[in-house]
């Protein structure tokens, strides 16, 4: 029976199993719920709402209507007392080009808020994938090491029985005792690693330490069979962080144009009505005031220009990082397929060698040392197989997340 232990151990590392479709959606729904409840996503959601509110403020502007009213009693020599009052309303008006730029800024702010939220969501989804795969790999390795302990104990007990029947040697029992001790030590290490990985996963994403959470998350058509050029183009198109950087540059350009146009000050128009001498004298007045632009507005233009230069540099850096990550994932995708195939071949070969040696052992033609060497090679091959399966799973999960095929925020 080949691959019984590794098959059981890596059962949780399923990604392409066709039978997973029936419960893929519930698993994804649970992952999405865990992401929604994550503090980082909650903070990103609050940042998005704040950005949307800022966008609304930008569109409305700081152009409020002012209402002034006053009442007084005046005394004039030889004329007695009289009542007088005045009422005025004034408002500052935007030039049409400023209004248009503010509307563009508002739309850009909204798009930037959504892109920023999507970027935060993607970062959290990638973090979940890394933590979950790490735990699932450690759990699978723990299962394999448990099997190794059981096998080592059975072999040691069998050799003891042979010794009691005067068919074995004490030195071989000692060697198998040492092998059992090493197996128990490896199992304990694997158990601790599995527990630490589980705690790290549960601390950030409670309830996610389950082996079926990645079932069906990545469809076959999502980045798995693309070539490097297609993967790069898709990654550049889908990247929310790159979209956010481009929108940030667009916003900085609009802000600079707005600052430059703001040198043309907005007029303030006012209307006043008044009554004096108990109504014997009334009047209506209109006023216009225009602020005189000074060095402050010029300094704001310089600040906006500096921010635009920073946005250009930031966009270049983020684009380079997205390119690097996409090409690295594509290379890993190819490498992990080869590595998994090689490790499975290694397990097959190790099992065949061990089976032959075991037959020879039964005929007294093979020593315990030969068996131990073959067993060590088999366990090493199985560990490598688990690592390769986990690496492939994480790579494909990351591809699916980065290409926005899976775990994309609602709306």
pLDDT, tens digit, 9 for 90 and up, residues 251-262: 999 989 888 888
pLDDT score for 409: 84
Residue 372 has what pLDDT? 86
Residue with tokens 């702010």: 109
User: 63 with 91: CB under 8 angstroms?
Assistant: yes
Structure tokens at 227: 């070539």
* CA pseudo-torsion sign 176, 179, 185, 187: negative
Kindly list the domain boundaries of the chain, sorted by start residue.
Answer: 4-402
pTM of the model: 0.77
The pLDDT value recorded for residue 80 is 66
Helices vs. strands in the chain: H and E counts, helices first: 9, 4
C-alpha distances out from residue 156 to 134, 149, 168, 353, 375, Å:
33, 10, 11, 20, 13
pLDDT at 79: 63
Q: How far is CA 326 from CA 246, 268, 329, in A?
A: 18, 54, 5
Low-confidence ranges of the chain (pLDDT < 70): 1-26, 72, 76-80, 219-227, 278-279, 361-365, 411
Helix (H/G/I), strand (E/B), else coil: 124 = helix
Q: Classify residue 206 as left (phi > 0), alpha (psi -120 to 50) or beta.
A: beta
Residues 6+ apart with CB under 8 A from 36: none
Structure tokens at 85: 């009052």
**pLDDT score for 18:** 36
Position 317 scores a pLDDT of 94
Predicted pLDDT of residue 5: 42
Burial grade of 162 (CB within 10 A; 0-12, 13-18, 19 or more): middle
Where does 4-402 sit in CATH, by number? 1.20.1600.10
What is the model's pLDDT at position 382? Answer: 92
Q: How many CB atoms lie within 10 A of CB 299?
A: 11
pLDDT value at position 121?
92
**Surface-to-core class of residue 164, CB atoms within 10 Å of its CB (0-12 exposed, 13-18 middle, 19+ buried):** exposed
């Amino acid at each position: 029976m080949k691959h019984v232990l590794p098959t059981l151990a890596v059962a949780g590392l399923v990604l392409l199993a066709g039978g997973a479709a029936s419960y893929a959606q519930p698993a994804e729904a649970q992952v999405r719920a865990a992401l929604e409840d994550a503090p980082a996503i909650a903070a990103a959601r609050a940042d998005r709402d704040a950005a949307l509110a800022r966008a609304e403020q930008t569109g409305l502007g700081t152009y409020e209507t002012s209402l002034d009213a006053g009442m007084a009693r005046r005394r004039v020599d030889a004329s007695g007392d009289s009542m007088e009052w005045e009422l005025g309303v004034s408002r500052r008006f935007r030039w049409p080009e400023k209004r248009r730029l503010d509307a563009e800024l508002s739309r850009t702010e909204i798009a930037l808020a959504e892109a920023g939220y999507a970027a935060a969501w993607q970062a959290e989804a990638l973090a979940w994938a890394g933590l979950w795969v790490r735990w699932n790999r450690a759990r699978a390795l723990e299962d394999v090491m448990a099997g190794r302990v059981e096998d080592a104990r059975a072999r040691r007990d069998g050799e003891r029985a042979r010794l009691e029947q005067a068919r074995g040697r004490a030195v071989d029992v000692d060697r198998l005792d040492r092998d059992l001790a090493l197996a128990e030590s490896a199992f304990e290490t694997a158990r601790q690693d599995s527990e630490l990985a589980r705690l790290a996963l549960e601390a950030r994403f409670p309830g996610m330490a389950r082996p079926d959470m990645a079932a069906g998350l990545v469809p076959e058509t999502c980045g798995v069979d693309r070539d490097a050029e297609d993967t790069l183009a898709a990654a550049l198109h889908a990247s929310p962080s790159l979209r956010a950087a481009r929108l940030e540059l667009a916003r900085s350009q609009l802000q600079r144009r707005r600052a430059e146009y703001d040198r043309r000050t907005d007029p303030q128009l006012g209307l006043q009505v008044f009554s004096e001498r108990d109504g014997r004298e009334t009047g209506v007045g209109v006023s216009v005031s225009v602020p005189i632009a000074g060095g402050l507005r010029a300094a704001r233009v310089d600040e906006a220009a500096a921010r635009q230069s920073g946005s250009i540099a930031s966009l270049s850096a983020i684009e380079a990082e997205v390119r690097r990550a996409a090409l690295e994932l594509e290379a890993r995708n190819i490498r992990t397929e080869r590595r998994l195939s090689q490790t499975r071949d290694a397990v097959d070969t190790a099992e065949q060698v061990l089976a032959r040696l075991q037959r020879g052992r039964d005929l007294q033609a093979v020593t315990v040392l030969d068996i131990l060497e073959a067993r060590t090679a088999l366990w090493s091959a199985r560990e490598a197989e688990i690592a390769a399966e986990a690496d492939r799973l994480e790579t494909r999960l990351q591809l699916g997340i980065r290409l926005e095929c899976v775990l994309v925020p609602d709306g």
